[in-house]
């Protein structure tokens, strides 16, 4: 055992040496030459050392690192349960599907029930609604916050409405006071998509801890990364059991990988019309999937989680510097507005081009891209105008005029921790150059 520990330590030191000789140089910046991404990985030798350590175990599914991460992340997010999955998109699918579970009895979501959401966002917030044969009800968004217009919620309500599933747009919390009160008054489930909002707070409380369930993503663009990966969070024991079943093939058994007979009744139960005593490891109570994460991914996440508070701090600082530097151009640009009572952990810096006769969005983003500053549009724009959604069943509340404005005029640039002061200065200088040419 001592020999093995010594070998592991030697391997770890070699990995550290490799990082210092090969990876550090990738982080250097030359004005106008290197691209400034809208998002990206921020890491050091510790993530790679942790990854290699997990590889040496050769435990190829979820294991000790996954368990360590789930415990640490649930503490950070102030929730009881954290369930790792293979992506944020899978997390969204699992989260909504859990509310269709027969375990919920009469409160389960059924085909034809309605879920309130927005069309200005990322497809995988909406896709689980469609995939579960539920009806998305699209509400318009506010300009500046880019979150749901809560004053439209009453119009969206019908006797079929059963849930609200929306994202905290680009890290900016939606109006949780209003949403949670509205949900309580109308007996609705709330699912918070926090994939862009890890560390954001509303009224002093971290987002993801308000609703019946919440989701996060660990894709390289997000606040912390495992390469791929995501998680579902909940304080509801029944929902957690449904989530775990759905993630793990739909099985009724809750044993950890490689473990047998945790319940002590593996060959003693009666399930459906199966023979009495049918092996509990092969009893299925949900139509599920295999959406687990590997321990190698979780090993990276364990080290990323230690850096998360500093990542959040840097995102806020970068956002503040960009806001202060771009404020002089508000005649032409709609700058982002934090929701009242919120403290966002910004995913990005959204900008909308006001109607004017000097330039449009296409012209400014082409200028920025030519100067190596990466831009992105606000995801799907208006999702019901996307080709994949032309035949879905949905309801829209009003004309979604702000959503169309976002589709035509909004884009975002990065605030992620890999953007340092030198890069911020460069970005602001490029904006100055653009407006000088008008």
Q: What percent of the chain lies above the pLDDT cut of 70? A: 97
**Residue 4: pLDDT band with limits 50, 70, 90:** confident
Q: Give the CATH architecture of domain 52-297.
A: 3-Layer(aba) Sandwich (3.40)
- Given a cut of 90, whether residue 254 has pLDDT beyond it is no
Mean pLDDT of 93-109: 97
- Given a cut of 90, whether residue 323 has pLDDT beyond it is yes
**Residue 25: pLDDT band with limits 50, 70, 90:** low
- Are 291 and 83 spatial neighbours (Cβ–Cβ below 8 Å)? no
Told to judge if 222 belongs to the known catalytic residues of this protein, a careful annotator would answer yes
- More confident: 30 or 106: 106
**Residue 26: pLDDT band with limits 50, 70, 90:** low
Domain boundaries, given as residue ranges, for the chain: 52-297, 308-436
Q: Is 112 left (phi over 0), alpha (psi -120 to 50) or beta?
A: left
**Residue 264: pLDDT band with limits 50, 70, 90:** confident
**Residue 1: pLDDT band with limits 50, 70, 90:** low
| Angle at which helices 421-436 and 295-326 cross, to 10° | 40
Assigned CATH topology for domain 308-436: 3.90.1150
Q: Which residue is catalytic, options 81, 222, 223, 286?
A: 222
- Are 412 and 351 spatial neighbours (Cβ–Cβ below 8 Å)? yes
Distance, in Å, from the CA atom of 352 to the CA atom of 361, rounded to the nearest integer, reads 8
Nearest 5 degrees, angle CA 72-CA 47-CA 91?
A: 50
Say what the pLDDT of residue 265 is: 82
- Are 154 and 178 spatial neighbours (Cβ–Cβ below 8 Å)? no
């Amino acid at each position: 055992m001592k020999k093995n520990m010594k070998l592991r330590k030697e391997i770890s030191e070699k990995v550290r040496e490799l990082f210092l000789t090969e990876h550090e140089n990738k982080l250097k910046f030359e004005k106008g030459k290197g691209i400034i991404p809208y998002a990206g990985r921020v890491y050091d030798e510790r993530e790679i050392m942790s990854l290699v350590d997990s590889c040496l175990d050769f435990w190829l599914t979820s294991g000790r690192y996954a368990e360590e991460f789930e415990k640490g992340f649930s503490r950070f997010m102030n929730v009881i349960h954290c369930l790792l999955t293979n992506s944020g998109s899978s997390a969204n699918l699992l989260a909504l599907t859990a509310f269709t579970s027969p375990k919920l009895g009469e409160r389960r979501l059924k085909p034809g029930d309605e879920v309130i959401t927005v069309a200005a966002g990322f497809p995988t917030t909406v896709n689980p609604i469609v995939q579960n044969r539920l009806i998305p009800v699209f509400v318009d968004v506010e300009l500046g916050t880019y979150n749901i217009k809560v004053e439209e919620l009453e119009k969206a309500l019908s006797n079929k409405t059963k849930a609200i599933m929306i994202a905290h747009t680009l890290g900016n919390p939606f109006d949780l006071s209003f949403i949670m009160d509205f949900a309580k008054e109308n007996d609705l489930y709330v699912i918070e998509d926090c994939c862009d909002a890890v560390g954001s707070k509303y009224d002093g409380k971290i987002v993801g801890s308000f609703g019946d369930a919440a989701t996060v993503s660990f894709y390289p663009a997000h606040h912390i990364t495992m390469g791929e990966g995501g998680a579902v969070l909940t304080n509801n024991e029944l929902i957690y059991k449904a989530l775990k079943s759905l993630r793990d093939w739909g099985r009724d058994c809750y044993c950890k990988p490689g473990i047998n007979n945790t319940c002590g009744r593996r060959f003693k139960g009666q399930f459906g019309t199966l023979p009495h005593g049918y092996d509990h490891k092969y009893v299925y109570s949900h139509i599920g999937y295999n959406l687990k994460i590997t321990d190698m991914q979780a090993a990276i996440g364990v080290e990323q989680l230690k850096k998360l508070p500093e990542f959040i701090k840097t995102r806020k600082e970068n956002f503040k510097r960009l806001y202060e530097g771009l404020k002089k151009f508000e005649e032409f640009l709609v700058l982002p507005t934090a929701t009242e009572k919120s403290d966002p952990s910004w995913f990005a810096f959204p900008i909308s081009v006001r109607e004017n006769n000097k330039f449009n969005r296409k012209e400014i983003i082409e200028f920025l891209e030519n100067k190596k500053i990466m831009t992105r549009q606000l995801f799907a724009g208006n999702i019901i105008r996307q080709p994949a959604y032309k035949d879905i069943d949905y309801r829209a509340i009003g004309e979604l005029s702000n959503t169309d404005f976002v589709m035509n005029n909004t884009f975002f640039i990065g605030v992620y921790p890999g953007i340092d002061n030198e890069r911020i200065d460069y970005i602001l200088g490029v904006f100055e150059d653009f407006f000088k040419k008008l």
